[in-house]
Structure 1
Amino acid sequence: MSKPNYTGIYHMVSQENFEEYLAALDVNYALRKVVCILKPSKHIEHNLNSGEMKIKTVTTFRNFDMDFTLGQEFTEDLGPVDGRKCQTTVNWDGDKLVCEQRGEKEGRGWTHWLEGNLLHLEMRVQDVTAKQVFKKAE
């Protein structure tokens, strides 16, 4: 089975349970309210041959960059302001990208998968799951 190429620009079309997810991450109330009204886009560069990926989440509030190689653990900067970091590994699970994060919160990670022109993102921490759906730009 060939792996899908995630390269593209995707704009958020929906989200579920995101405030609860942020609360489980101990994000303060005011910041949760701000973050939940943002409509991020994801700019993804994916090299299928090398496994290198760049995921840039762009908002009017703040941008987040994540550069990694599939299957290789790296230190992820979770909170540039307060210095939170964790050890992160992203691997294939079939045609889905699955991220496991260690060191910040138990059971934290995410899964990305494509269905047509939709990019799905399921985020989890402990027993809380949130979902966002993005549509690929034409």
Structure 2
Amino acid sequence: MSHPDYSGTYHMVEQQNMDAYLTALDINIALRKIVCFLKPTKEIVHDPATGAMKIRTVTTLKNFNMDFVIGEEFEENLGPVDGRICQTTVSWDGDRLVCVQRGEKEGRGWTHWLEGDHLHLEMRVQDIVAKQVFKKVN
């Protein structure tokens, strides 16, 4: 089965429930307010042949890089986000990328999927779900 190529640059156009998600990650109120105002850009480089993927999240406050091979567990340093280290695995579920982050927070992870020129991101921790939608710009 061939999977979609996620490569491209995407600008955030919509966000839901981010404050509750950040609260569940124990992020302080001042930083939560700032993060909720940010409009991140996602830069994704995906090599479908090898499964290698680089996701760069760029904001005016901080940038966050995630480099991985789909299906291989790696240690993820979430320092820029909440200071935690997780054992992370990103796998395919049909055409969706599903990330499981094992660490001190239960049920942590995310799912990415494409619908036309929109990249969807659903972030989970404990029983909280936040969503972001990005529009492809190139």
The two structures share one fold, judged by TM-score above 0.5: yes
In 2, Cα distance between equivalents of 1:59 and 1:46: 21
In 2, Cα distance between equivalents of 1:122 and 1:83: 21
Letter in 2 for 1:86: C
1:116 aligns with 2:112: no
The equivalent residue for 1:31 is 31
In 2, Cα distance between equivalents of 1:116 and 1:8: 13
1:17 aligns with 2:21: no
The equivalent residue for 1:89 is 89
Task: Specify every segment of 5 or more residues in structure 2 that has no aligned partner in the other structure, as ranges.
Answer: none
Say which is worse superposed, 107-116 or 83-92, in terms of deviation.
83-92
Q: Secondary structure at the match of 1:26?
A: coil
The equivalent residue for 1:104 is 104
Cα deviation, residue 2, structure 1: 2.1
Letter in 2 for 1:121: L
Query: Structure 1 residue runs of 4+, over 6 Å off?
Result: none
Identity %: 70
Q: Are the structure 2 counterparts of residues 36 and 135 from structure 1 closer, same or farther at C-alpha, using a change threshold of 3 Å?
A: same
In 2, Cα distance between equivalents of 1:16 and 1:84: 23
- How many residues of Structure 1 are paired with residues of Structure 2 in the alignment? 138
Cα deviation, residue 103, structure 1: 1.0
Say which is worse superposed, 108-117 or 76-85, in terms of deviation.
76-85
Cα deviation, residue 41, structure 1: 0.3
Q: Confirm or deny: 8 A CA contact 2:10 2:42 kept in the other structure.
A: yes
Q: Confirm or deny: 8 A CA contact 2:41 2:59 kept in the other structure.
A: yes
The equivalent residue for 2:135 is 135
Task: Specify every segment of 5 or more residues in structure 1 that has no aligned partner in the other structure, as ranges.
Answer: none
In 1, Cα distance between equivalents of 2:108 and 2:10: 23
In 2, Cα distance between equivalents of 1:137 and 1:82: 29
Q: Secondary structure at the match of 1:22?
A: helix
In 2, Cα distance between equivalents of 1:118 and 1:80: 25
In 1, Cα distance between equivalents of 2:108 and 2:133: 19
